[in-house]
Structure 1
């Protein structure tokens, strides 16, 4: 430990990377999280916070750099909380995320073959077709700020572009700022959701007070000038209304099946289209579908995986707890002329299995649960259905590993293959597809 310029400094050897992008190091028996530090690096850092369980430090000089270190593309990196790993190469990010999946499986004692784990990074820049931007009126900073929240803070990053948003959304930020500056209710707008489909772009303006007639006219004019569909949201999701009727919902297409998926700007969809196409392809391959198959999908959403599966089987049933998404899924099935699909609204954690599974024999099981995983429902239905194959799409390696331990140790399945998909480049999030046979 040294003292320079009245600051206490420590030389750290970085051994790992946390999900928040900070380097992990051990010093005097304590774990430290070090800003702007990568595995394999030696850095000199100042103490930032010793009160937390994991101590915090900030790099002031890199003494030995990692070969995976790259220059961040974004001028807001380090301040904006949207990205935490732009200083790590794309290949390095993928290896890190694969290692996280492996570590989670090992913690839960899940047997697997390392050579059966593959990874893919479909798109690093301009991939986000949805985003939630913070809005704040700050006169001292020149007016309205629009951007992602600052890293680990509630402040709004003053952005003019975003390299991870699709170009249609990134280019909209300056005009959004200018328009909101001219709205009388600008102090009552905390956020704007932006979404882009192949047919249109949309924004959802969250407003805490009623919009004046002038503000409504201003937003209407903005939508027409920018060719953007404007929605207003005064409360929860059920309060979202279009400012004016302007055609059909947003859409995207599934490459593998040719299906067109309709969605509203606040619906849950996979934000990275290229990654989503890879996930669909992998799911279809892992399921090894035949025309005789009956497939059950849990947490089906608006049919993103269900409809491509339906093109290859006799019948598929999709279940989800979100009534609006189930309604959208039914509309998508009708729009794409899929008559071998049934969508059912069910609370998969509370509804007894008999109320929705009936006596139908399902040969294969597909699920894409939230971050909390699906341990309870799997423990209930797997012994009842005994599917030949289970394909599990996960956004949380820890709960995937926990559920995998139950499938393998309790129900006798084998973890046959894993694919890691870097859905959110430059963040700590990872999508994983696992096959159990």
Structure 2
């Protein structure tokens, strides 16, 4: 039986090679997504899922190899679901993501940027300062496993190191396995949340049963030996509390703006601190805030953009859907001596209206940093402002996106109905070796 062969044309959003079966007349037919294949390669494949319009397949052989193929650094690549693109040269990964962004902007939003920004990228290994590690006791595999799930599986990868975690955390994976094996609640500890700050490494144990005195002694000894801070979480993230030692405080720094950001290990913060610094600096340069201007920071979180903006603007209003987050953001502003130039408002931005923005007052400029769902209601509200209060529309918007498809959808609305021009767009490689695409876009109000 002959092997199915296919030419790979591109990569999809999950890092799979994309090819087309050929019709009898030679035209492109059904799409085939081939895991592990790269653009320019001719590969043999086996289909494991077949639909009317597409097939999903695994690569069995390479007849013609891409010059951009490299040997994965991690021995668990291909099994572990944490990375999808280690087999592709890092700068080529960035180029693929830039193409994904451009394709989404055009095919979904029907817009093109006047200028494509240079991609933001940095260290490709040891960058992941946040992670959720799964834990399971598997006697057949020698005891406790700690790590990421296998691809398309509920099983945990039997991993002893991880190249994308900071080296000191990677070295702790095996000691963590031995520690958890020694605890009385070994079967009631499903995950560990990792958060690395400037000088503190915190680990949150999700515990389903109380610790014994012996458990506490083991945890304290591990903390002293490996320099970590333990937190305990009994239910949801809001129940996480420091256990040992209690005096250390997590924070990350934005030194260009003199800002220090305290956070809890269960808070949302950017995974890649190095890229976050560069991203914040570029966003502020592009927003080009003048000293007398009033700025809105939508989906502000703990103030990652709000506080740097407050060093430049007359006033910054941070808006977020959680009272706890806005209160914490205000505390961070106070810590940094920026409370007089900031105010925070708790509003559901997924239900934002033009009337909401009228009530908040005129903003000269706006930064939008939404979750994966995007900011469609905000963009619709801005379109509404164009019709009801055009003098209140911000003249420049910087949109930081973690989903190119929702950015494209929102960009189409801002350009085609909101009276904005898409001046700049570019990718931010926050997650090297994954197919995750972060991006940044700049919209200017047309005159």
- TM-score class, shorter-chain normalisation, is over 0.9
Paired position in structure 1 for 2:190? 190
Paired position in structure 2 for 1:14? 8
1:426 paired with 2:433, answer yes
Paired position in structure 1 for 2:21? 27
Kindly tell me: are residues 64 and 224 of structure 1, through their superposed partners in 2, closer, same or farther at Cα, counting changes over 3 Å? same
Shift of 1:89: 0.8
Paired position in structure 2 for 1:314? 314
Paired position in structure 2 for 1:261? 261
**1:94-144, CA deviations, whole angstroms, 9 ceiling, x for partnerless residues?**
111011111111113533346434212212111111100110100111100
Please list, as runs of the form range in 1=range in 2, the aligned pairs for 1:15-94 lying within 5 A after superposition.
15-28=9-22, 29-50=29-50, 54-94=54-94
Aligned counterparts of 1:199 and 1:120: Cα–Cα separation in 2: 25
> Aligned to 1:188, what secondary structure does the other structure show?
coil
Please list, as runs of the form range in 1=range in 2, the aligned pairs for 1:55-134 lying within 5 A after superposition.
55-113=55-113, 115-134=115-134
Shift of 1:409: 0.7
Aligned counterparts of 2:322 and 2:203: Cα–Cα separation in 1: 22
Shift of 1:49: 3.2
Kindly tell me: are residues 353 and 187 of structure 1, through their superposed partners in 2, closer, same or farther at Cα, counting changes over 3 Å? farther
Aligned counterparts of 1:96 and 1:391: Cα–Cα separation in 2: 23
Give the length in aligned residue pairs. Answer: 431
Shift of 1:377: 1.9
Query: For the Cα contact (< 8 Å) 2:421–2:443, is it kept in 1?
Result: yes
Shift of 1:328: 2.1
Kindly tell me: are residues 148 and 52 of structure 1, through their superposed partners in 2, closer, same or farther at Cα, counting changes over 3 Å? farther
Q: In structure 2, which of residues 412, 416, 425 is the aligned counterpart of residue 409 of structure 1?
A: 416
Aligned counterparts of 1:203 and 1:277: Cα–Cα separation in 2: 23
1:373 paired with 2:374, answer yes
Query: For the Cα contact (< 8 Å) 2:230–2:245, is it kept in 1?
Result: no
Aligned counterparts of 2:234 and 2:137: Cα–Cα separation in 1: 18
Stretch of structure 1 that moved more, 53-62 or 410-419: 53-62
Shift of 1:335: 0.6
Shift of 1:322: 2.7
> Aligned to 1:72, what secondary structure does the other structure show?
coil
Aligned counterparts of 1:113 and 1:240: Cα–Cα separation in 2: 43
> Aligned to 1:15, what secondary structure does the other structure show?
strand
Paired position in structure 1 for 2:393? 386
Paired position in structure 2 for 1:203? 203
Please list, as runs of the form range in 1=range in 2, the aligned pairs for 1:220-299 lying within 5 A after superposition.
220-244=220-244, 246-299=246-299
Aligned counterparts of 1:70 and 1:224: Cα–Cα separation in 2: 39
Aligned counterparts of 2:278 and 2:7: Cα–Cα separation in 1: 37
Paired position in structure 1 for 2:139? 139
Query: For the Cα contact (< 8 Å) 1:168–1:201, is it kept in 2?
Result: no
Paired position in structure 1 for 2:345? 344
Query: For the Cα contact (< 8 Å) 1:169–1:195, is it kept in 2?
Result: no
> Aligned to 1:361, what secondary structure does the other structure show?
coil
| TM-score using structure 1 length | 0.94
Query: For the Cα contact (< 8 Å) 2:74–2:163, is it kept in 1?
Result: yes
Kindly tell me: are residues 109 and 225 of structure 1, through their superposed partners in 2, closer, same or farther at Cα, counting changes over 3 Å? closer
Aligned counterparts of 2:291 and 2:267: Cα–Cα separation in 1: 31
> Aligned to 1:186, what secondary structure does the other structure show?
coil
Paired position in structure 2 for 1:213? 213
Kindly tell me: are residues 160 and 357 of structure 1, through their superposed partners in 2, closer, same or farther at Cα, counting changes over 3 Å? farther
Shift of 1:52: 8.3
Aligned counterparts of 1:297 and 1:334: Cα–Cα separation in 2: 17
Query: For the Cα contact (< 8 Å) 2:109–2:410, is it kept in 1?
Result: no
Paired position in structure 2 for 1:6? none
Shift of 1:57: 2.3
**1:204-231, CA deviations, whole angstroms, 9 ceiling, x for partnerless residues?**
0112233333223322332222221101
Query: For the Cα contact (< 8 Å) 2:97–2:437, is it kept in 1?
Result: yes
Paired position in structure 1 for 2:158? 158
**1:12-71, CA deviations, whole angstroms, 9 ceiling, x for partnerless residues?**
101121222221111253221112210110011233333686323222221111111111
Q: In structure 1, which of residues 399, 403, 425 is the aligned counterpart of residue 406 of structure 2?
A: 399
Stretch of structure 1 that moved more, 277-286 or 39-48: 39-48
Stretch of structure 1 that moved more, 241-250 or 192-201: 241-250
Aligned-residue RMSD, C-alpha = 1.8
Query: For the Cα contact (< 8 Å) 1:169–1:196, is it kept in 2?
Result: no
